Structure 1
Amino acid sequence: MSSSDIFIGETIGTAILILLGGGVCAAVTLKASKARNAGWLAIAFGWGFAVLTAVYTSAPLSGAHLNPAVTLALTIKDGGWNNLPVYWGGQLLGAMIGATLVWVVYYGQFHAHLTDPDIVGASDAQAAGSKAVEAEEKGAGPVLGIFSTGPEIRNAAQNLATEIIATVVLVLAVLTQGLNDKGNGLGPLGALITALVVVSIGLSLGGPTGYAINPARDLGPRIVHALLPLPNKGGSDWSYAWVPVVGPLIGGAIAAGLYNVAFA
């Protein structure tokens, strides 16, 4: 496959992944959404179906990595380092596009949510917004969880370990069961298996950090959150942002090493 096919496929696929995955987070979170308070089960299955849709859409073009940790693992396993920046570039761009589309789809709900005095925490929403921004300048704003992940207990070592372990599970499943005939991405059966693994990870390992397990999935939307003109949005929690990037990359590298030792 050509570099242009890889870049286009990863951009489209990751955009769909984040549109549907971030979309379920918005649906469950935002005021005036019909799915508000649907819960963690809806989020876990929503992300699983997002993976399934994104993989089936982009696999013919790029092999549907959709995740820098998966790309890194496949590169360690098979070589081909020249294509790694192309995959990563498409994945990051696609994640940013997908996050922006979530904002477009839920534009009214974002506005209603972030101007509600009960949510921003004061009787005057305008004044409350400025206070919220000041208080949360370095932390997570009230809708950041729609765009990117954050820990329930902020412990860098635990949070990093959680992301590493969860990503090892994901990438080992991709490497052992999910590859297409060419071995450069996910095949049809692999797409279904991977989607179910993502659901399992969300239900079992997602509680501590929100299971990024994908650097582009977290970093791209976090950048969009920082740039979008959302009223009273608060901070983008950049002090935590390294964990869902570094953790999955370490997990992907470990999974590739385990595969080469135990399965190759």
Structure 2
Amino acid sequence: MSGSWDMRYAAEFFGTLMLVLFGNGAVANSFLNKTTGNGDAGQANGGWIFIALGYGFGVMIPAMMFGSISGNHINPAITIAQAVAGIFPWSHVAVYILWQFLGAMAGQLLIIAIYWPHYKLTKDPALVLASFSTGDGTGSSLNGFVTEMIGTAVLIFGAMGLYRGMFFSQSVDIANIGIGFLIMTLVISAGGPTGPALNPARDLGPRIIHAIMPVPNKGSSHWEYSWVPVLAPTVGAIVGILIFKVIFSL
């Protein structure tokens, strides 16, 4: 990483903003009524691949822009896991997380501004909430926890391999592309039950915005589930990075 810590904080803010704008924006375009991605309410014409591309590029592009500045964590679970593994200073964890959450909230506010007329046309509160935050499709917090934990463990295990593996050690830009495809693949393969979040800021930041903003046709913010996409990705990230560290001498 390079630059001052203030520059790194700014990179985390804008990186997380772009992640939420591209990812949740793809969900909004796919789910909300009368968008170009969805002609009729309840028909996700854009499809799951459409959404996976949004989240994949939502990580890939900030990685290319900010990876050399802040490391492009844009995810509190990644920041905490790297601190646990001894490759990021604990003294900057809280501030990194603060700016990640602020970026996620700012990104969601931009989505509201863009899609405001479409929120008015979408009568199903579940579809409105889907463009903000996640939930388990079967209503099971246990299944949601398992899904988010495994998905985030695979995410950070794969990310460590991409950025620190021999093949990409001198080709960071190629590794950045790889991380985008990793996110896309996880959304496609492991995202069926929950969305997924894989990132506390990506879920909780927009959920707070959903709760406090007068979004048309919104229902419950489902706070009873909100702990799952915060705790499970954090646990998963720690498990994933420690497995990589033990086996591959991180």
- Report the TM-score when normalising by structure 1: 0.85
1:8, 1:61 within 8 Å by CA — same for their partners in 2? no
Aligned counterparts of 2:15 and 2:4: Cα–Cα separation in 1: 16
> 1:209 corresponds to which residue?
194
* Aligned-residue RMSD, C-alpha: 1.8
Correspondence 1:259 to 2:248: no
Aligned counterparts of 1:97 and 1:9: Cα–Cα separation in 2: 14
2:120, 2:217 within 8 Å by CA — same for their partners in 1? no
2:135, 2:144 within 8 Å by CA — same for their partners in 1? no
Picking from 38, 48, 55, the partner of 1:47 is: 55
> 1:106 corresponds to which residue?
115
> 2:104 corresponds to which residue?
95
Write the deviation string for residues 191-237 of structure 1: whole angstroms up to 9, x where unpaired: 21111111111111100111110010000011011111112211101
Structure 1 stretches lacking a partner, 5+ long: 114-118, 121-139, 181-185
> 2:168 corresponds to which residue?
none
1:178, 1:193 within 8 Å by CA — same for their partners in 2? no
2:31, 2:127 within 8 Å by CA — same for their partners in 1? no
> 1:29 corresponds to which residue?
31
Q: How many residues align?
A: 236
Cα pair distance change 1:249/1:32, threshold 3 Å: same
Amino acid at match of 1:4: D
After TM superposition, list the pairs within 5 Å mapping 1:3-14 onto structure 2: 3-14=5-16
Amino acid at match of 1:112: L
2:128, 2:217 within 8 Å by CA — same for their partners in 1? no
Aligned counterparts of 2:219 and 2:68: Cα–Cα separation in 1: 40
SS at match of 2:195: coil
Structure 2 stretches lacking a partner, 5+ long: 39-44, 166-170
Q: 4+ runs of 1 displaced by more than 6 Å?
A: none
Aligned counterparts of 1:104 and 1:218: Cα–Cα separation in 2: 19
Write the deviation string for residues 59-85 of structure 1: whole angstroms up to 9, x where unpaired: 243121111111122212225111111
SS at match of 1:230: coil
> 1:80 corresponds to which residue?
89
After TM superposition, list the pairs within 5 Å mapping 1:45-194 onto structure 2: 45-77=53-85, 78-113=87-122, 119-120=123-124, 141-178=126-163, 187-194=172-179
After TM superposition, list the pairs within 5 Å mapping 1:211-230 onto structure 2: 211-230=196-215
1:141, 1:236 within 8 Å by CA — same for their partners in 2? no
Amino acid at match of 1:31: N
Highest CA radius of gyration, 1 or 2? 1
CA shift, 1:177, in A, is 1.4
Aligned counterparts of 2:127 and 2:240: Cα–Cα separation in 1: 34
Identity %: 36
- Report the TM-score when normalising by structure 2: 0.89
2:26, 2:54 within 8 Å by CA — same for their partners in 1? yes
1:48, 1:196 within 8 Å by CA — same for their partners in 2? yes
